[in-house]
Amino acid sequence: MARRAKKYVYYFGDGKADGTGKMKDLLGGKGAGLANMTNLKIPVPAGFTITTDACNVYFADNKTYPSGMWDQVLANLKKVEKSMGAKLGDAKDPLLLSVRSGSKFSMPGMMDTVLNLGLNDTTLKALIRKTGNERFAYDTYRRLITMFGSTVMGIDRQVFEDALDKMKEKKGVHLDTDLSAEDLAELVDEFKKIYRKKTGKNFPKDPLQQLRLSINAVFDSWFGDRAVTYRNLNDISHDLGTACNVQAMVFGNMGENSGTGVGFTRDPSTGQKRFFAEYLINAQGEDVVAGIRTPLHINEMKRKLPEAYRDLDRIYKKLEKHYRDMLDIEFTVQDGKLYMLQTRIGKRTAAASLKIAIQMVKEGLIDKKTAIMRIDPDLLETLMHPMIDPKANVSILAKGLPASPGAAVGKVVFSADDAEEAAAKGEKVILVRPETSPEDIGGMDAAEGILTARGGMTSHAAVVARGMGKPCVAGCTAVNINEKRKSFWVDSTTIREGDVITLNGSTGEVIVGEVPLVAPDMTGDFNTIMKWADEIRDLGIRANADTPTDARMALKFGAEGIGLVRTEHMFFEEDRIQAVREMILADDEEGRRRALKKILPMQRKDFIEIFKVMDGLPVTIRLLDPPLHEFLPKTDEELRELAREMGVSFKKLQARNKALHEFNPMLGHRGCRLAITYPEIYEMQVQAIIEAACQVAKKKVKAVPEIMIPLIADVKELTVMREMTVRVATEIEKRYKVKIPYDVGTMIEIARAALLAHTVAPEADFYSFGTNDLTQTLYGLSRDDAGRFLPYYVEQGIFDDDPFMTIDQEGVGLLMKMAIDSSRKIKPNMKMGICGEQVDPRSVDFCYRVGLTYVSGSPFRLPVARLAAAQATLRRKNPKKYAPESIA
């Protein structure tokens, strides 16, 4: 008996597609949504989905379809023809098709689409006879040649757009809808000539050939530059593949009783519970999404097409109730009848994400745990984005649509390439475009904000900017752009490349010059979500903070203690660097102690202020870590100036600087090695810490210092340092007659210390993993130099991620787990954390799974860590319900 071919094609409604899990993996988000709507008896044009498996086999087999796939396509095409009562290529009643991509995760505009497939000179005549609308038929044909030529054959779309603009200019009209049937027929002939000139071939007449080539183009677009860039930016796997959706066309360009639109079931910018949609009369979907025409508010559809609007209102509410989430939908009205073309979970700003989650809990659609899992932790950082200072006097140049909230200041650039180039130099830029396209994704990511002259609230620029958390002003029609001259003007004001403007994405204002920005007020919905997250999470959250100001900021963002105070940052302060340099230049211990005596009151004061802020909370203080030469100037000119200031000879200073020089300071005389050689340095620091704790204790402030010894490789180093710490602390406690609850621990940042952690544990009250140095020593590379090649490694797929941005779970993570497990056998309740700034969601999830007590990062990253920790807890306790899609 012959083996049955694997199923690669699913007719809409085949099986149960719930938009999640394996069906979403196979059908992609768009295909699963179409299948789902079909099962819900919502009007969806007939069609079928070619699975992501087929795409992956296609690439694995050198761009060859898997066995049986094409036969399945033809069999399902017959089902579509039967359902629609028309046939592909038929000379009497032709069926036209759309071919669209659709991956598991939404990638708006990043992959390819071909509409109106199946037209040729024969079916064109049949379409005219069938509809009695010659203008519509020619408009549809010119759209097919444009999309097929640019998407499938790689012709620059602008060539077709230029020809269209010339025709409009020739006929003295502004919009393409003003062109007559005769004008469009002439344009079709011109487009065919362009196609032949650019490809050396005639436009294909065989609809099945058009279909096969279009499927190829959709599959190929998975590895197109813009799609790869988008996945890299959004941490989406390159192995997923895209599905391909083949669907009967319905036409929004049949006249004044037809149209097309895009909408969100709630406001994607603010989260407000209102239908947020736009549409265009006599248009196809690409016109709305690409921003080719500025669309109308959905209320216009309510007025002009009331019956279709009533259906749309009923359907979007039904879909939102079914999915229990805010949705992004696409629809077309053909001759007064509504059809749904897409539904998927809608992209939204951070603020909207919080508001929608809270609203849906109140409405009983979801519970608090589901609400927490709905929010992308990384997106929370965009809430920290500045806003325009309400007290500032501004000169408003123009006003467009408030497409993505927040404020941005930067120099104007007019191309994505220029934005990327400028950003690479550290410049802040605003990308100004007539409208953005998927090719602009890299420049949009590099820019501080985006301004477009065309497009609406659901245009490519708006949707992508909201997903990125970038301020965007779209559809600013007062802005006239001259890309060749790299300038734009509004009335009599001209803005040239390099001029500074400010965007207010919350109001749509474009402002001349640089306007002062202020930090946002983190209250309301933010506090509610953080409260829910804190109720759920089991992982502690601390902050890296070196000053009282940092400490106050840490508390504001929910820190439960300080996981790292870097004392060397205090040494660099202007009022003490002189004493530090005296200590370094001293010829003997006595000289060093004299200099350290000057530093002692300054260090003590630092710790007093931090202890006051953190009253009752733990404060982990890392003793001096960097090598001494870092405190000395680098150039001879700076050394001469320092010699004059200190009253020492330049030659002595130069000789000392040379003596301190190391070929590889990262692995040199630093950390505990410095204190083994010069114990008086750490003695002074411990004295400052314990004296500060005693002094605040007298004022009823509870100090909880955790004294951390950096860079140990052997337990004996920690033993020596612990004995010194206890000796100094005991002397001070006796003098002040105060008992301080201090701990002595170490950083695990050398591979040997991690491997031998079981020998270190008896001497340590706590561990903090220094993931930066642990990564450097394990990889054998310098973080400061690796920036030259690490991006290339990630781009080439050698490394999945930059190991300094997210913990390398296979290597560094393995060492961490070995250290944790071996130490907990000796001290089951030992405190352990990380302090290397890697508090991205995946790293937080890993830290929770391997049993760390807390994670510590910069104050502004703490909301991300708190939410990620709550999500990690939910995933661990209920892995089936809360699958780790976002951290896979």
- Nearest one of 580, 338, 327, 288 to 454, comparing CA atoms: 288
- 140, 164, 179, 385 from 174: Cα distances, Å: 19, 11, 9, 39
- Tokens 């920036």 correspond to what residue? 787
Six-digit token string for 78: 């017959």
Give me the phi and psi of 808, to 5 degrees please.
-75, 100
Q: Which tokens is 851 given?
A: 């049993």
Q: Exactly one of 460, 629, 672, 694 is catalytic; name it.
A: 460
Whether residue 611 contacts residue 647, with contact meaning beta carbons closer than 8 Å, is answered with no
Give the position of tokens 């960097």.
626
Q: Quote the distance between the C-alpha of residue 88 and its chain's center.
A: 42
The position carrying tokens 């903090």 is 768
Distance CA 131, CA 142 (A): 17
Our answer to whether residue 244 is catalytic in this structure is no
**Six-digit token string for 162:** 């230029």
- Alpha-carbon distances, residue 807 vs 124, 576, 774, 804 (angstroms): 58, 36, 10, 7
CB 97 within 8 A of CB 81: no
CB neighbours of 646 closer than 8 A, spacing ≥ 6? 578, 581, 582, 585, 653
The Cα–Cα gap between 788 and 791 comes to 7
Q: Which of 55, 244, 476, 835 is catalytic?
A: 835
**DSSP assigned state of 615:** T
CA distances from 54 to 236, 709, 885 (A): 19, 55, 21
Helix (H, G, I), strand (E, B) or coil at 278: strand
Q: Please report, for residues 60, 75, 435, 571, 610, the alpha-carbon distance to residue 63 in angstroms, rounded to integers and kept in the order given.
A: 7, 22, 33, 61, 62
R_g of the chain computed on alpha carbons = 32
Q: Is 835 a catalytic residue?
A: yes
> Could you give the CA distance from residue 407 to residue 426 in angstroms, rounded to a whole number?
19
- E runs forming strands in 497-626: 500-504, 509-512, 517-518, 540-544, 562-566, 618-622
Angle made by CA atoms 771, 776, 780, in degrees to the nearest 5: 150
Buried b / exposed e along 286-323 (16+ C-beta atoms within 10 A): ebbbbbbbbbbebebbbebbeebbebbeebbeebbebb
Nearest CA among 375, 202, 344 for reference residue 263: 344
Please give the span between the terminal C-alpha atoms of the chain, in angstroms, as a whole number.
Answer: 40
Distance between CA atoms of residues 137 and 830, nearest Å: 75
Rounded (10°) CA dihedral 422, 439, 459, 311: -160
H helix or E strand, kind and range, residue 265: none
User: Coil, strand, or helix at residue 474?
Assistant: strand
Amino acid in position 53: D
Assigned token pair, 724: 């010194």
Overall residue count recorded for the chain in this entry = 888
Residue carrying structure tokens 């992308």: 376
3-state secondary structure 566-628: EHHHHHCCCCCHHHHHHHHHCCCHHHHHHHHHHHHHHHHHHHHHHHHHCCCCEEEEECCCCCH
- Between CA 792 and CA 450 the distance in angstroms is 27
Distance in angstroms (rounded) separating the CA atoms of residues 467 and 451: 16
Q: Compute φ and ψ for 146, nearest 5 degrees.
A: -60, -50
Alpha-carbon distances, residue 570 vs 562, 627, 676, 709, 754 (angstroms): 16, 15, 21, 17, 29
What residues are labeled active site? 460, 835
